């Protein structure tokens, strides 16, 4: 599914060559979007998976208001929100921090939840002069590139998701809390698991996508680690081929929305010695099918 620039009455949409990822101009997100405009934003988002809106210096109130036009707020369990802003996270990295950036491995946000977020919205506040790009993976085209035998093999499988590797008592973040400026929450709750279809059908487009990630997918239901881990490793390698990747370069005052139901993302570093500050909201999703 793709939508050409000419198909939009109120937006200017510049897609990437692959159709995955697009830049949107011609609107002001600081103001409530009229119904026809909002419908076109949602159509472009469904078509391209990742939308960037340059030159949108939203206040926190305006960021929250835009989020609510997309859908109700999601639940962010393992990062403390900003004071007085229960639905906004500040993704901050100070100049003296040396660890991998928050979100610095391939994942789909909070996929371990019974109803993972449909969308994540990120607004750039302070952008370093170098580095800090975000990689996005098109899990829909990755699925569609599989041969029919592979699709048949994957169709009945459920992937087991958990926050244990990131936020459990024995996780990476648990050993780094005093070295990070972000208020990360470590909890035994993170060790819980939840299974979702390994191949997920998008509720808007009807297209199928691989719904697994190296951070949050810890196994395959009904398989031993010896059976499931090699298969997951094959899928992770397949998903992260260059042909399925869009590399996003940030600028100050930019808003990006991506679809967690059919993408993975990976926050890159490369800006040691510089501050980077982003503000993030999530939009609640539905039970994957």
Cite the beta strand spans of the chain per DSSP E. 12-15, 22-25, 50-53, 89-93, 119-126, 134-138, 158-162, 193-197, 199-201, 208-210, 217-220, 245-248, 255-259, 263-267, 276-283
Q: Return the ∠ at Cα 111 (arms to 278 and 238), rounded to 5°.
A: 95
Whether the predicted pLDDT of 56 surpasses 70? yes
Rounded distance between C-alpha atoms, residue 178 and residue 78, angstroms: 16
Whether the predicted pLDDT of 232 surpasses 60? yes
Structure tokens at 268: 């890159």
Mean pLDDT to the nearest integer, 84-104: 96
The pLDDT value given to residue 172? 84
In the chain, the domains with their CATH numbers are: 5-283 (3.60.130.10)
The pLDDT > 70 percentage for the chain reads 98
* Reported confidence tier of residue 170, pLDDT bands at 50, 70, 90: very high
Whether the predicted pLDDT of 3 surpasses 70? no
Residues 6+ apart with CB under 8 A from 103: 91, 265, 266, 267
Model pTM? 0.95
């Amino acid at each position: 599914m793709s939508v050409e620039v000419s198909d939009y009455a109120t937006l200017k949409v510049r897609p990437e060559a692959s159709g995955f990822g697009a830049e949107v101009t011609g609107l002001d997100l600081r103001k409530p979007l009229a119904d026809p405009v909002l419908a076109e934003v949602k159509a472009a988002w469904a078509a391209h998976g990742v939308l960037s809106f340059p030159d949108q210096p939203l206040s926190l109130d305006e960021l929250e208001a835009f989020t609510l036009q997309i859908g109700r707020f999601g639940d962010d369990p393992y990062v403390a929100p900003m004071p007085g802003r229960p639905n906004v996270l500040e993704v901050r990295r100070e100049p003296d921090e040396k660890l991998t950036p928050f979100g610095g491995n391939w994942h789909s946000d909070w996929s371990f939840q019974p109803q993972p977020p449909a969308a994540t919205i990120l607004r750039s506040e302070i952008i370093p002069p170098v580095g800090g790009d975000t990689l996005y993976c098109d899990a829909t085209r990755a699925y569609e590139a599989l041969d029919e035998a592979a699709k048949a093999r994957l169709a009945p499988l459920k992937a087991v998701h958990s926050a244990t590797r990131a936020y459990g008592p024995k996780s990476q973040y648990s050993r780094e809390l005093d070295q990070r400026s972000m208020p990360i929450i470590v909890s035994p709750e993170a060790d819980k698991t939840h299974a979702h279809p390994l191949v997920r059908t998008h509720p808007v487009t009807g297209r199928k996508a691989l719904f697994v990630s190296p951070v949050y997918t810890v196994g395959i239901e009904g398989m031993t680690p010896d059976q499931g881990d090699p298969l997951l490793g094959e899928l992770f390698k397949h998903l992260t081929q260059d042909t399925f990747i869009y590399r996003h370069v940030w600028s100050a005052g930019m808003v990006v929305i991506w679809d967690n139901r059919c993408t993975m993302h990976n926050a890159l570093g490369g800006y040691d010695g510089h501050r980077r500050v982003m503000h993030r909201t999530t939009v609640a999703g539905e039970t994957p099918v």
